[in-house]
């Protein structure tokens, strides 16, 4: 790929310490960078702080010290909903559709930040249905009645509706039937193709590394190892497995 | 037969008023996860203000509903901002304790300002109207109609409005809603305001039916909880049906057995329901959301 990438930093985490209660430390001085339009993958054993890193970016966990900048502006202290306004979207682990609401209502909620601008909301809604045409036939169905794979599709479409610039993805394949897993990674590929900055946290090492431009391996709430994946042409999975044994 | 139809109509009107009281409780429990034990004490203070406005100041009843309802929307907003906002992340009993304190404070205020003398809101027109040969209580008719309009308005707001859609999303999954950019703090405030305004309207309407005393709110609270247990937290239509059922059971028990057994019958039903479902209010929450 001879394409010239803009390696400017989109999101930067500097020495962040964070935990859920006052005495636990889950992130212990973690630092990492996600360059624009690249896919950054975060790997690591259970409890290494992968998901908490994403929750810190979203403001869902208390950050005690350090700095998180997005488009060069500090975002620590901003409430979660304002981070969505800035263009940060999140695909959480497990299900996050609103089951009692229709597919249409779920999608429209994705465009919450358009406020009273109904014209933009409806235009984005139509564009999203064009991009995810499977959803067009089920707009009036309750989201809770969709299959697991369809719900994931709805979540991806919903987060893409407001055209975010940074997409955070937490364990995309957990809880999904194997037949849908491949589909989910295809969706993530498409995000990359659309020029989004993507950060993926995953246990599925091989699948995640196939997507990655850059990989961070966490251990005990810090970065234990990092590297550019493109440099390794052969068995990336084996290399990562070796990193994991560090 | 005339007596039955008349009583049933009056019962239905009273049921609508009950629905207003029950709706506030079910909304705050369903969306915010808070059991607002001060809910009916707020309704009672609103009813007393209605008495002062209508009986003492000569306010017309419709204006009294609108002014006091609007005032209590802001009272609700202030309570949510000042007392509850910081407690969402704590155990449920933290907010329960705070609201219990508020309930005692409100009862004390009612005692000091309006004393223990019974206060009955007197309407500036005749006590009964005759429609198609049936006599209907004009206070029930007025209170019932105003509350019906209020409940339908809140229901429409929640079902068709943008903010309502946000509130329903927040009820289902607060974090997921916040991640989409929904300011859940602001919506919680609006919701608590709406619930309190509904309680205020319901309080005034009940004050037109029964004379007010400062301890009366405890009976209203039990009534509201009964409605929530029967109707669940699925939405205002269910709350309305549950409230109508409770009011009709009351009315028919009073008509065919004796008004002295009304409470006995209602609470036997509550016990049986809780026994069949083997769940408390928490179970009600899980079932519907």
Tell me the per-residue pLDDT of B189-235, one tens digit each, with 9 for 90 and over. Answer: 999 999 999 999 999 999 999 999 999 999 899 889 889 888 888 78
Which DSSP category does A191 fall into?
A: H
Instruction: Kindly determine whether residue B168 and residue A98, on different chains, have CB atoms separated by under 8 Å.
Output: yes
The arithmetic mean of pLDDT across residues B41-61, rounded, is 95
Instruction: Kindly determine whether residue A112 and residue B181, on different chains, have CB atoms separated by under 8 Å.
Output: yes
The arithmetic mean of pLDDT across residues B154-171, rounded, is 93
Per the prediction, chain B carries an average pLDDT of 89
State the nearest Cα–Cα gap between A106 and chain B, in angstroms.
Answer: 8
Q: Chain B contact for A102, CB < 8 A?
A: no
What is the CB neighbour count within 10 angstroms for residue A225? 16
Q: Chain B contact for A78, CB < 8 A?
A: no
- The tens digit of pLDDT for each residue in B111-145 reads 999 988 999 888 888 778 888 778 888 888 999 99
Instruction: Kindly determine whether residue B179 and residue A92, on different chains, have CB atoms separated by under 8 Å.
Output: yes
Q: Which of B176, B182, B185 sits opposite A96 (nearest CB)?
A: B176
Q: Chain B contact for A55, CB < 8 A?
A: no
Q: State yes or no: pLDDT of A90 exceeds 90.
A: yes
The arithmetic mean of pLDDT across residues B46-68, rounded, is 94
CA-based nearest residue in chain B for residue A105: B165
Angstrom distance (rounded) from CA A193 to CA B161: 35
Domain locations in chain B as residue ranges: 2-288
Work out the percent of chain A whose per-residue pLDDT is above 70.
Answer: 91
Q: Chain A contact for B175, CB < 8 A?
A: yes
Q: State yes or no: pLDDT of A246 exceeds 80.
A: no
Q: Are B232 and B288 in contact (CB under 8 A)?
A: yes
Q: Chain B contact for A112, CB < 8 A?
A: yes
Q: A68 vs A25, A159, B220, CA distance in Å?
A: 17, 22, 51
Which DSSP category does B212 fall into?
A: B
Confidence band (pLDDT; 50, 70, 90) for B85?
Answer: confident
CB pairs under 8 A between A and B: 60
Instruction: Kindly determine whether residue A58 and residue B179, on different chains, have CB atoms separated by under 8 Å.
Output: yes
Q: Which residue has the higher pLDDT, B22 or B260?
A: B22
Q: Chain A contact for B176, CB < 8 A?
A: yes
Confidence band (pLDDT; 50, 70, 90) for B110?
Answer: very high
| Short-list A197, A214, A193, A110, CA closest to A154 | A110
Q: Please give the pLDDT value at position A208.
A: 83
Q: B64 vs B40, B69, B141, CA distance in Å?
A: 18, 8, 16
Q: Which of B172, B175, B180 sits opposite A112 (nearest CB)?
A: B180
Beta strands in B68-151 (DSSP E): 128-131, 134-137
The distance from CA B288 to its chain's CA centroid, rounded to whole angstroms, is 19
pTM above 0.95, yes or no: no
Q: B219 vs A195, B21, B212, CA distance in Å?
A: 61, 12, 12
Q: Which two tokens stand for residue A215?
A: 């990989």
Q: State yes or no: pLDDT of A2 exceeds 70.
A: no
Confidence band (pLDDT; 50, 70, 90) for A234?
Answer: low
Which DSSP category does B210 fall into?
A: S
Q: Which residue has the higher pLDDT, B271 or B175?
A: B175
The distance from CA A40 to its chain's CA centroid, rounded to whole angstroms, is 10
Q: Which two tokens stand for residue B77?
A: 């907003």
- The tens digit of pLDDT for each residue in A34-72 reads 999 999 999 888 888 999 999 999 999 989 999 999 999
Chain A residues lying within 8 Å of B181, measured CB to CB: 81-82, 84-85, 112-113, 162
Q: State yes or no: pLDDT of B287 exceeds 70.
A: no
* Chain A interface disruption, residue of B85, B172, B173, B180, most A CBs within 10 A: B180
Domains, chain A, ordered by start: 9-97+165-244 (3.40.50.300)
Confidence band (pLDDT; 50, 70, 90) for B256?
Answer: confident
Work out the percent of chain B whose per-residue pLDDT is above 90.
Answer: 56
Q: State yes or no: pLDDT of A232 exceeds 60.
A: no
What is the CB neighbour count within 10 angstroms for residue B282? 12
Q: A9-19 and A27-35: which strand pairing?
A: antiparallel
Chain A residues lying within 8 Å of B173, measured CB to CB: 96, 98
Beta bridge partners of A67: A14
State the nearest Cα–Cα gap between B36 and chain A, in angstroms.
Answer: 25
Q: Please give the pLDDT value at position B12.
A: 92
Mean pLDDT is lowest, of A51-60, A85-94, A153-162, B117-126, for: B117-126
Q: Chain A contact for B237, CB < 8 A?
A: no
Q: State yes or no: pLDDT of B23 exceeds 60.
A: yes
State whether CATH 1.10.287 applies to domain B2-288.
Answer: no
Chain B residues lying within 8 Å of A104, measured CB to CB: none
State the nearest Cα–Cα gap between A8 and chain B, in angstroms.
Answer: 25
Q: Chain B contact for A147, CB < 8 A?
A: no
Cα distance between the two ends of chain A: 31
Beta bridge partners of B135: B130
Chain B residues lying within 8 Å of A96, measured CB to CB: 173, 176, 179
Work out the burial of residue B12: count CB atoms within 10 Å of its CB; fewer than 13 is exposed, 13-18 middle, 19 or more buried: middle
Chain A residues lying within 8 Å of B31, measured CB to CB: none
Q: State yes or no: pLDDT of B279 exceeds 80.
A: no
Instruction: Kindly determine whether residue A98 and residue B172, on different chains, have CB atoms separated by under 8 Å.
Output: yes
Q: Chain B contact for A96, CB < 8 A?
A: yes
Angstrom distance (rounded) from CA A156 to CA A97: 10
């Amino acid at each position: 790929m001879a394409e010239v990438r803009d390696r400017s930093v989109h999101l930067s985490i500097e020495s962040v310490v964070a935990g859920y209660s006052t005495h636990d430390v889950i992130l212990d001085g973690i630092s990492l960078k996600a360059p624009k339009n690249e896919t950054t993958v975060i790997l690591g054993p259970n409890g290494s702080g992968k998901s908490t890193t994403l929750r810190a970016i979203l403001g869902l966990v208390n950050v005690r010290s350090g700095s998180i900048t997005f488009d060069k502006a500090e975002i620590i202290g901003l409430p979660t909903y304002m981070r969505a306004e800035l263009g940060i979207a999140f695909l959480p682990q497990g299900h996050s559709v609103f089951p009692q609401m229709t597919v249409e209502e779920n999608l429209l909620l994705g465009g919450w930040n358009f406020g009273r601008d109904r014209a933009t909301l409806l235009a984005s809604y139509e564009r999203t249905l064009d991009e995810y045409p499977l959803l067009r036939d089920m707009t009036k169905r309750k989201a809770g009645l969709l299959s697991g794979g369809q719900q994931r599709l709805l979540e991806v479409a919903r987060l893409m509706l407001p055209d975010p610039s940074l997409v955070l993805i937490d364990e995309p394949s957990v809880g999904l039937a194997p037949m849908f897993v491949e589909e989910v990674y295809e969706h993530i590929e498409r995000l990359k193709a659309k020029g989004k900055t993507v950060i993926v946290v995953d246990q599925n090492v091989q699948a995640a590394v196939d997507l990655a431009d850059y990989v961070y391996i966490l251990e005990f709430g810090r970065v234990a190892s990092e590297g550019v994946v493109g440099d390794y042409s052969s068995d990336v999975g084996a290399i990562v497995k070796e990193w994991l044994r560090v | 037969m005339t007596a039955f139809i008349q009583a049933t109509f009056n019962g239905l009107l009273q049921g609508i008023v009950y629905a207003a009281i029950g709706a506030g409780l079910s909304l705050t429990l369903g969306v915010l996860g808070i059991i607002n034990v001060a809910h009916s004490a707020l309704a009672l203070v609103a009813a007393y203000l209605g008495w002062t406005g209508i009986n003492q100041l000569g306010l017309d009843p419709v204006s009294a509903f609108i002014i006091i309802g609007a005032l209590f929307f802001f009272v609700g907003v202030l309570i949510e901002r000042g007392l509850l906002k910081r407690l969402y992340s704590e155990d449920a009993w933290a907010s329960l304790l705070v609201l219990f304190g508020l309930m005692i404070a409100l009862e004390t205020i009612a005692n000091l300002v309006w004393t223990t003398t019974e206060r009955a809101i007197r309407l500036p027109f005749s006590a009964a109207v005759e429609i198609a040969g049936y006599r209907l209580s004009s206070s029930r008719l007025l209170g019932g109609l105003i509350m019906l309009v209020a409940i339908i308005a809140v229901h429409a707001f929640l079902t068709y409005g943008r903010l309502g859609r946000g509130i329903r999303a927040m009820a289902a999954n607060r974090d997921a809603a916040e991640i989409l950019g929904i300011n859940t703090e602001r919506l919680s405030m609006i919701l608590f305001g709406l619930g309190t305004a509904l309680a205020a309207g319901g309080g005034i309407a009940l004050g037109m039916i029964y004379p007010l005393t400062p301890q009366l709110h405890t009976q209203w609270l039990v009534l509201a909880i009964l409605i929530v247990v029967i109707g669940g937290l699925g939405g205002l239509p269910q709350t309305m049906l549950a409230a109508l059922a409770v009011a009709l059971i009351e009315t028919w028990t009073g008509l065919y057995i004796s008004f002295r057994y009304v409470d006995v019958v209602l609470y036997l039903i509550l016990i049986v329901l809780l026994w069949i479902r083997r769940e408390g209010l928490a179970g009600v929450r899980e079932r519907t959301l």
